[in-house]
Structure 1
Amino acid sequence: MMRVLEFLVALVIVAVIGVVAAVVMPGSGHVERQLVIGKDMRQVYDMLDNFRRLPEYAVLRNYDRNAQFNFSGKAFGPGAEISWTSSDPKVGNGGLTVASATPDFDKIDSNTKNASIVWNLDNDWRGFDKHFTLDLERQGSRGQLTQVTWSYDVAYGWNLINRFSSMYIHGDPDAFVQFSLNNLQNVLAGVANVDYSQLIPYIAQTQPTPMLLVSTSTQRKDGQDAVEDEVTKVSTQLQAAAKKLGVNVTGTAILFITNYGDQTFNFDVGLPIDSSTLTVNGQSVQLTVPTTPSLDASAAPAEAGSSAGAASSAPLAAGSRDRFGRLVVDNDVRATLAFGGAVLKGVWNGTFAGVPQTREMLKAYAQTHGYTFDEVVSPVYDIVVTPAQKDASGSITRYAKYNVLLPITNAPAQTPEQEAGIQPPSPDTDAPAASSTAPAPAGTAAAPAAAASAAH
């Protein structure tokens, strides 16, 4: 009997000690990690102010490659939500919501020194009012770096079991922050290093359009005049092909940028036509959208003038299909269904030298916002909305206006700028642009404005 009494007394003492220990333990928990990322603050901010790419950098996929993610709420900014489910107990089920983001995305520019984004967390970790705070601070001699401080905070209240769990905050919560922060740096490394803070891109819907096109190239050293001369020459060739096919050209020339290399600029010149059914070699053929080429080079047909730069041993026969599934019309003339679906659209006012940089800005914007694109099958293209005007001496009196469009998938109906009704500044179309005709690299010059009108 005495032993039983001693045991009960000991048990009470242990319980009292446990309660006292729990009471004196902190009623909240905090852990944080820092990392300097070699990217402009706007890029880091945009990627963290939506969850479209979180499955790529959150540590959850490292634990369970089969974890399922679901997006809901807004596409960007406060109200954006993501949830996940997993049979792995280390991942479990949970969700995040963007609770706040300061300043607003359109206020982030080269002069912004600090920004902060808060995610509310809902999972099975102990405690309540769980949230991540991601503080951004511009660093570097030219402000080209961003320090990310990723912290986790939780309240335990007077729940004694929750208070004991503070001893394990350096377990799963700490690991989530540390590994996800490292993965974030790796994902951002794949984003083009350009400053798009002045870009106001819009998402527009395009209709499938039958088109004739030719793949060609110029030397970068030959400049814009060489591009314009090549477009004129190819347009004449396409006009002749359209006449031979008995179809009408319905619009101006369109440039599909396939490779803006250091030495050579490769591009396709296209003209839209009024029929998606062509008669070639006496056969009626229905045009189709381009397809992804086979990775097996031996299985791909030989062709001339491939936009991907593939070598060819002999021209393809008229009526056959090239490696992209485009119809071979005659020699290097191809026919296909272009466009169709969503595009991310921007505008460049100036010489053609600024178009490739605008293209890079659109790509970087798409990457940080989680819009998917495939430059092999659906390359960036541009349309001259207003051609340049010159006086008698050849000096430019009004620069050209280009619509630059990036075909995208997995995108919402509108960009954040579009949803907020932000309009681009109206360009002075009666005078040339600034002396620099092309945008500078990130952090050194303003980006071009983008148009709010729908794509052609």
Structure 2
Amino acid sequence: MTRLLEFLAALVIVAILGVVAGVAMPSQGHVDRTVKVNKDVRQLYDVFANFRRFPEYSMLGQLDRHLKYQLSGPAYGQGAKTSWTSDDKSVGNGSLEVASLTPAFAQVGDEGKATIVWNLDNDWSGTDKKFTIDLERTGRQGKLTNVKMAYDVNYGWNLINRYSNLYIHGQPDNFIQFGLSNMQNMVASIPQGDYSKLYPEIVDTQPTPVLFISSQSPRNLTELDTALDDAVKQLEAAAKKLNVQVTGPRITFTTNYGDQNYTFDVALPINTTTLNLNGQSVELTAASRPKLDPAAASTSGSAAAPADDTTPGSKDKFNNVIVDDKVRAVLAFGGKALKAEWNGNPAGVPVVRIQEQQFAQTHGYKYDDFTNRIYDIQVKAPTTDAHGTVQGYDEQKFEVYLPLQGDVPEKTPEQEAGMKNPGLQDNPASSGTAGAPAASGTAAAPAAAGTAPTQQ
């Protein structure tokens, strides 16, 4: 009996000590980690202001490969939400929601710092769980961003929850550390730069029949204009021979914008989707990835695309209709695209192309620049006066389109806010910006009357 009483007394003492210890423990938990990332602060702000790329850098997918995500709410900003479900008990079910962003996205580039708060709902102990992400531009030239991610939780007077603070360096800390490390690797593929002065919008494009020619030129405006004009002349001759009408300005599809040379396709829209070639009627369809040739794979040891049939009226490996030895035809565009405008010297167009790709990657918009390449249309060309002098070469206007794939929001944040593309006086880039082609030294002459306008 005495031993039983001693045992009970010991239990009471342990319980009292446990309660005292629990009361003495903090009612709140906090853990944070910091990394420096070689990206502009606006780019990282946009990555954290939506959850479209969250599965790529979250540690949750590494714990459960069968994890399922669901997006809800706005695509970007306050209210954007991601939820997940998992049969793995170490992951469980949960959700994150953007609770606040300071400042608004339009001011981040100028202020150089921001704070984003995510509310967390899962089975971790405690209430009022949240992640706070602080971003601040740093480095000698301001090209780095200091990223601090913190987790905060309220335990209140729940003593069991207070004891869980002893394990805050478990899953919460791992969530931050692995997430920041994975995020660093993910954003490394995003081109460096600042697109805060670019106001792109998501638009619906219509399938359009075009004739096109593949070409290339050194990154020099004079030589590029010559190559473009030569391509247009060939396309106009082909259109006349086919008895079809050109219906709009010239389009340039970018294949590769290299350090020294620019490879591209020049296209003219036409008024029909059916061409009469080699005595047959051929219907134009959209381009597609090449299909692999099993026979070629068995002999070479690797899969290869079948060789093209060069007969007019046949189709090449990309599903383009062959018109002659140089000209092809295809049904271009169709579907959602990210659109931006450039007003000014055509040397700035390549910068806008890069900025659109940056924007798409930070906002989680998917694109495939292999079969659905970025393209631009010159909607305002320079003119030539009676004395043959070029007027308005630095006041041209271009529309730049990046075709998008998969689940795409209806609008960009800039569209939602009613922001318009910049005018000539507010160019997001200039001819002296890195990435623009080398200046020719002289203004190139515009396309001759009756031809599609010169295009970058």
TM-score by length of 2: 0.89
Offset of residue 219 of structure 1: 1.7
1:362 and 2:362 equivalent? no
Q: Is the 8 A contact 1:389 1:400 kept in 2?
A: no
Q: Is the 8 A contact 1:302 1:316 kept in 2?
A: no
1:326 and 2:320 equivalent? yes
CA distance in structure 2 between the partners assigned to 1:428 and 1:43 by the alignment: 24
The equivalent of 1:372 in structure 2 is 366
Q: 233, 237, 260: which is aligned to 1:236?
A: 233
Q: Is the 8 A contact 1:351 1:438 kept in 2?
A: no
TM alignment of 1:224-373, pairs within 5 A: 224-294=221-291, 299-302=304-307, 316-373=310-367
The equivalent of 2:95 in structure 1 is 95
Distance 1:291 1:434, change over 3 A: closer
Q: Is the 8 A contact 1:213 1:238 kept in 2?
A: yes
SS at match of 2:203: strand
Q: Which letter does structure 2 place at the counterpart of 1:15?
A: A
CA distance in structure 2 between the partners assigned to 1:134 and 1:74 by the alignment: 19
Offset of residue 131 of structure 1: 0.2
- More moved, 341-350 vs 244-253: 244-253
The equivalent of 1:199 in structure 2 is 198
Offset of residue 319 of structure 1: 2.2
The equivalent of 1:211 in structure 2 is 210
Offset of residue 441 of structure 1: 6.6
SS at match of 2:234: helix
CA distance in structure 1 between the partners assigned to 2:198 and 2:69 by the alignment: 30
Q: Is the 8 A contact 1:231 1:253 kept in 2?
A: no
Distance 1:435 1:14, change over 3 A: closer
The equivalent of 1:450 in structure 2 is none
Distance 1:346 1:121, change over 3 A: same
1:407 and 2:403 equivalent? yes
Offset of residue 436 of structure 1: 5.0
1:382 and 2:381 equivalent? no
Q: Is the 8 A contact 1:195 1:441 kept in 2?
A: no
Offset of residue 78 of structure 1: 0.6
Offset of residue 3 of structure 1: 2.4
Distance 1:438 1:275, change over 3 A: farther
CA distance in structure 1 between the partners assigned to 2:28 and 2:415 by the alignment: 40
1:77 and 2:74 equivalent? no
Q: Is the 8 A contact 1:316 1:328 kept in 2?
A: yes
The equivalent of 1:117 in structure 2 is 116
Offset of residue 363 of structure 1: 0.2
Q: Is the 8 A contact 1:138 1:146 kept in 2?
A: yes
The equivalent of 1:26 in structure 2 is 26
Q: Which letter does structure 2 place at the counterpart of 1:318?
A: P
CA distance in structure 2 between the partners assigned to 1:45 and 1:434 by the alignment: 19
The equivalent of 1:63 in structure 2 is 63
Q: Which letter does structure 1 place at the counterpart of 2:338?
A: L
Offset of residue 247 of structure 1: 2.1
Offset of residue 62 of structure 1: 1.1
Give the paired residue count: 425
Q: Which letter does structure 1 place at the counterpart of 2:365?
A: Y
CA distance in structure 1 between the partners assigned to 2:168 and 2:217 by the alignment: 59
Offset of residue 56 of structure 1: 0.3
Distance 1:441 1:128, change over 3 A: farther
CA distance in structure 2 between the partners assigned to 1:59 and 1:74 by the alignment: 24
Offset of residue 434 of structure 1: 12
- More moved, 244-253 vs 407-416: 244-253
CA distance in structure 1 between the partners assigned to 2:362 and 2:349 by the alignment: 20
CA distance in structure 1 between the partners assigned to 2:169 and 2:391 by the alignment: 64
CA distance in structure 2 between the partners assigned to 1:153 and 1:106 by the alignment: 28
The runs of 5 or more residues in structure 1 that have no matched partner are 304-314, 443-456
Distance 1:41 1:435, change over 3 A: closer
Q: 405, 414, 418: which is aligned to 2:415?
A: 418
CA distance in structure 2 between the partners assigned to 1:160 and 1:361 by the alignment: 52
* Identity rate, percent: 51
The equivalent of 1:48 in structure 2 is 48
The runs of 5 or more residues in structure 2 that have no matched partner are 437-456
CA distance in structure 2 between the partners assigned to 1:435 and 1:147 by the alignment: 25
- Once the two structures are superposed, residues 151-172 of structure 1 have per-residue CA deviations (whole angstroms, 9 ceiling, x without a partner) of 0000000111101100000000
